Structure 1
Amino acid sequence: MDLNVTQAFSIVLLILAVGELVSMKTKAMIPSVFVSAVLFIIGFWTILPGDVVTQSSFATPIVYLSMYLLLTHMGTLMSLKELLSQWKTVVIALGGIVGIIALTLSLGNLLFGWENVVAATPPLTGGVVASILMSTAAAEKGLTSIAVLATAMYVIQGFFGYPITSYLLKKEANRLADKVRSGEVKMEDNNQEKAEENESRFRIIPPLPEEYQTTYVILFKLGIVAALAVAAAPILHLNQFVVCMLFGVIGRETGFLEEKALVKSGSFGFLITILMAFIFAGLSDATPSMLTEIAVPLFGIIVLGLTGMALISMFIGKMFGYTKEMSISIAMTALYGFPPNYILTVESARASTKNDDEYQYAVDEMLPKMLVGGFTTVTIASVIIAGFFVKLL
C-alpha cells in the first residue's frame, strides 16, 4: 500500500498518541511504548504497509541526525561529577548481562540446544547490531530458523522489558517521592546542590544571554558538538553514540552547551518522536509464521535470561545500596536501550508523583542511571558479546 507522506505520518503519530493516552489513563501501568508496539505489530499483520514509518519520512538520515542530537543533549543533563559517580550503575548493568549469559548457556543449552542459545543470547543482551551479527552468521551457515530466532529476539524482547520496567520504576519513583513528602529530602537543598554542580569548575565559556538562546543557535551548537563527537569516535575507538553523550557532558561543563539544550530549543519532542517511530518499524519483520516457528526457544530463552539478569543485578545492587527495583531496571535497559529507557523513566515518574518537586527529584535520581545502563548494555557490551558469540555458532 502506497501512502503519501502526510497520510503515513498521521498513522504513525496516531499510534504513538494512543500509546501515550493509554499510559496516562492507566498511570503508566501500561506503558506507552508497550501499547504502541502492540498496535504497530497488529497493524503490520493486518492493514499497515511494512514501510509505513519510512513512508512517513522517518528514514535513516533524519533518524541518525536525531540520535546524534538527542544523545548530545542527554549529555547536557549530567555533570561530569554525576557521570563519574555512575560507575556502580555500569557494574550492575554488566552484572545483569553476566546473569543472562550464565543461565542461557547452562540451563538454556540443556532445554533449547546450543545453536539456539548462542544465536539468541547476544540480541537479548542488547540492540540491533548484536541481532544483525548473529542472524547474518547463522544465515551464512545455512541455519535459517536460527537466523530468524536472532532477529525475532531483538524484535520481541521489548514486549517483556517495557511493562516490567514500568512497574519497577513506578515503585522506585514512589519511594523517592515519599522522601520529598516526608521531608527527608528538602528540594531547596537539592536544588542548591544541583545549582552548585551546574557551576562547573571547567566552565571557560560564559553563558549565552537568554535572548540569544534561540532554536537555531542551540541546534547549531549541538550540531557542532555532535559533529566533533562523530569525527572523534574512530580515533577514540569508541561507539559514536557513546562519544556524543560524553561530548555533551563536556559541552555543558565548559559552558558551550546549555543544560537541557533541546528542551530549550523546543525541538526535543519532535526528535524523540522520530526515534520512537523508527524503533517500532523493526516490528514489521515479526511475522506470525516467524513467531510460530521459533516460539518455544524464543520465549524460553527470554524467561531464563531475565531470571539470571534479575538475580545477579539485585545481588550487586544490594551491595551498592541500590534498591532491587532500581537494580533490575538498570539491567533491563539491555532489552530496549535508548530512547525507551528515557520514555519509561519519565512516564513512571510522572505517574507516581503528585507535584513538580517530587517529579523532578525522582527523574534526577533515576534518569542518569537508566541512561548509563542503556549505554553499557546495548551500545557497548552487546556488540562485544556478539563478536565473541559469532565464533561459537
Structure 2
Amino acid sequence: MDYPYRVDIGGSATSAIEWIPMDTLYAAVVLLACVAVGELVSSATRARIPSLLIAIIAMATLTQTGVFPADIAEASLFLGIGAVLQPAILVHMGTLLPISSLKQQWRPIVISVAGMACATGLILLVVGLTFGYGTAVAGTGPLVGGIVSTLLTSEGLTTAGLTTLATIPTLVLMVQSLPAMPLTAYFLKKHAKSLIDSGDVAVDHDPDTGAIKLSPEAQAEADRKTLVTLPKAVQESQMVLLFMVVAGGGLSMYLQGLTGVSYSIWGLALGIGCVWLGILPKASLEKANGFSLGMVAIIVIVAVPMMQASLSAIVSAIGVVVVILVVGMIGIMVGGGIASKLLKWDLNLGMPVALTAMFGFPADYLITREVSRSSSEDPELQRVVLDRLLPPMLIGGFTSVSAGSVVIATILVKTL
C-alpha cells in the first residue's frame, strides 16, 4: 500500500538501508509516537491519566481525521507481532503472579462476578425498557467482556434477524474502556497510597549489610525449591528465554483448540506452572527483552476498532451506547462495591477489580503497572506495590472478560 508520506532514499544501489519498506517504517514510527506520548502524559500526571487511554485516543484521532489511513496498523506490522507475542505475554503474566498469594485470590473472583451480575440485570431492566430487549442484549455481553463475547453477541443478533443492532456490540467494545480506565487508575492510586502510608507494604533493608529484606511471602517464594533448575546458559540467554515463552504461548493456543478453554486462561496457567516447576524464571519476557515491543503491539491491536470504525456508524448508535455504558458501569460499581463491603475489602481495590470487566487484559496490567510506578520513587517499593496489586487485578479481568462474559453472552443470545 502507498502512503502520502512516502519518501525516496538516496544513495547507491548498494546502500545498506535502500531496501527497507519505508511505508512500514513510518507507520510504525507514528504508532510508537502515540504510545510514547501516552507514557509521557501518564508520567506527568502520575498515572491519573492512563497511557493506554491517551495512545488509543491519539491513534483514533489521527486516522478518523484522515491524517493517516485507517489501515496504518496493518502497514506497521504490529498486528503480526501482536499475534505472535500476545499469547506469550499471557504466559509472562502468569510468571508474575506470586504463587504464595494465589490461594488468597478468591475474593477478586467473587467481586468480579457480583459486578457482572449487577450490571447485566440493570442493563436488561433499564435499557430493555427504554430501547427494547434486543438492544439490551446487544450491549450486555460486550460491556462485561471482550472480543469473544462481542463476536458471540454479534453472531446471535444476526442469526435472530436483528441486523440493525449488530453494530452496537462493536461500538460498546470500542468505547467501554474510555470511562473505565481513568476511574480504575484513580481508585488504584488511592489504594496504593494507603498501602504505603499504613506501612502495609514497605522495603526493609538489613541494618548490617544494607541488602533488601524480603517480605515473609517473598522470602518463602525465594526459598521455595523447584523441581527443575535452569542451567546458567539458559538463565542468561535472552534468545532462549524468548523461545521458551513464545513456545508456551503457542502451546496455550494449541490447548485452546483442543479443549475449547480460552488461550488466555491456558497461558496464565502455563506461566504459573512453569515458574512453580522452575522451567521459567519470574518476569520471563522482560528478562528476554521482548516485553516492551510486545506491549506496543498489543496496544495497537486494542486501538484498531477505534481507528477503523466509520464516523457515521458511531454517530448513529452513540446515544444508546452511552446509555449502555452509563447503566452498565453503575451496575458494575454497585455490585463490586456491595461484594467488597461484604468481604471487608478496601473499596479502592474492589472497584478496580470489578471495573476490569470493561477492559480486561492488557489494560488491567498496564494501568496497574503505571499506578505502581507512580506510587514511589523507589524502584523496589514500586515492585512491592505491583506484586500486591497485580494478582487481584489480573484474576478479576480473567474472571470477567475471559470466562464470565462468554457465559453471559451465550445465555442471552439464546433468549432472542
Q: Same fold (TM over 0.5)?
A: yes
Aligned with 1:176 (options 180, 195, 215): 195
Alignment correspondent of 1:121? 140
Question: Are 1:217 and 2:245 an aligned pair?
Answer: no
| Counterpart secondary structure, 1:392 | coil
Report how far residue 84 of structure 1 moved.
2.9
Aligned with 1:206 (options 219, 229, 237): 229
Q: 2:100·2:217 contact (CA, 8 Å) conserved in 1?
A: no
Question: Are 1:51 and 2:71 an aligned pair?
Answer: yes
Task: Tell me how far apart the structure 1 counterparts of residues 183 and 233 of structure 2 sit (CA, whole Å).
Answer: 41
Task: Tell me how far apart the structure 2 counterparts of residues 357 and 177 of structure 1 sit (CA, whole Å).
Answer: 12
Q: State TM-score, norm by structure 1.
A: 0.93
Alignment correspondent of 1:319? 342
Task: Tell me how far apart the structure 1 counterparts of residues 380 and 132 of structure 2 sit (CA, whole Å).
Answer: 51
RMSD: 1.9
Q: State TM-score, norm by structure 2.
A: 0.88
Alignment correspondent of 2:306? 283
Cα distance change of structure 1 residues 342 and 198 upon mapping to structure 2, 3 Å threshold: same
Report how far residue 134 of structure 1 moved.
1.6
- The aligned runs of 1:124-143 (5 Å cut-off) are 124-143=143-162
Q: 1:145·1:293 contact (CA, 8 Å) conserved in 2?
A: no
Report how far residue 190 of structure 1 moved.
4.5
Cα distance change of structure 1 residues 213 and 191 upon mapping to structure 2, 3 Å threshold: farther
Q: 1:173·1:353 contact (CA, 8 Å) conserved in 2?
A: no
Aligned with 1:274 (options 297, 300, 311): 297
| Counterpart secondary structure, 1:76 | helix
Alignment correspondent of 2:392? 369
Report how far residue 143 of structure 1 moved.
3.0
Alignment correspondent of 1:2? 2
Alignment correspondent of 2:93? 74
Aligned with 2:377 (options 344, 354, 376): 354
Task: Tell me how far apart the structure 2 counterparts of residues 261 and 224 of structure 1 sit (CA, whole Å).
Answer: 12
**Which consecutive unaligned segments of at least 5 residues does structure 2 have?**
4-22, 205-212
Equivalences, count: 388
Question: Are 1:31 and 2:50 an aligned pair?
Answer: yes
1:151-196 superposed Cα distances (whole Å, 9 cap, x missing partner): 100001111111111111111111122133xxx5443365342131
One-letter amino acid of the counterpart of residue 95, structure 2 = T
Q: 1:155·1:282 contact (CA, 8 Å) conserved in 2?
A: yes
Question: Are 1:187 and 2:187 an aligned pair?
Answer: no
One-letter amino acid of the counterpart of residue 407, structure 2 = I
| Counterpart secondary structure, 2:166 | helix
Aligned with 2:109 (options 75, 82, 90): 90
| Counterpart secondary structure, 2:282 | coil
One-letter amino acid of the counterpart of residue 238, structure 2 = T
Aligned with 1:257 (options 265, 280, 290): 280
Alignment correspondent of 2:209? none
Cα distance change of structure 1 residues 185 and 28 upon mapping to structure 2, 3 Å threshold: closer
One-letter amino acid of the counterpart of residue 187, structure 2 = L
Give the stretch that moved more between structures: 130-139 or 272-281: 130-139
Report how far residue 360 of structure 1 moved.
2.0
1:120-139 superposed Cα distances (whole Å, 9 cap, x missing partner): 10000110111122223323
Aligned with 2:351 (options 328, 334, 337): 328
Report how far residue 235 of structure 1 moved.
4.5
Q: 2:234·2:241 contact (CA, 8 Å) conserved in 1?
A: no
More helix by share: 1
Question: Are 1:239 and 2:239 an aligned pair?
Answer: no
Task: Tell me how far apart the structure 1 counterparts of residues 141 and 222 of structure 2 sit (CA, whole Å).
Answer: 38
Give the stretch that moved more between structures: 161-170 or 280-289: 280-289
Alignment correspondent of 2:323? 300
1:237-287 superposed Cα distances (whole Å, 9 cap, x missing partner): 421221111011110001010111111111111111111111111112433
Give the stretch that moved more between structures: 119-128 or 190-199: 190-199
Task: Tell me how far apart the structure 1 counterparts of residues 201 and 393 of structure 2 sit (CA, whole Å).
Answer: 21
Report how far residue 361 of structure 1 moved.
2.3
Q: 2:113·2:400 contact (CA, 8 Å) conserved in 1?
A: yes
Give the stretch that moved more between structures: 356-365 or 232-241: 232-241
Task: Tell me how far apart the structure 2 counterparts of residues 185 and 161 of structure 1 sit (CA, whole Å).
Answer: 26
**Which consecutive unaligned segments of at least 5 residues does structure 1 have?**
none
Q: 1:79·1:253 contact (CA, 8 Å) conserved in 2?
A: no
Q: 1:333·1:374 contact (CA, 8 Å) conserved in 2?
A: yes
1:357-381 superposed Cα distances (whole Å, 9 cap, x missing partner): 4322221111111111111111111
Percentage of identical aligned residues: 29
| Counterpart secondary structure, 2:414 | helix
Structure 1 residue runs of 4 or more that deviate by more than 6 Å after TM superposition:
none
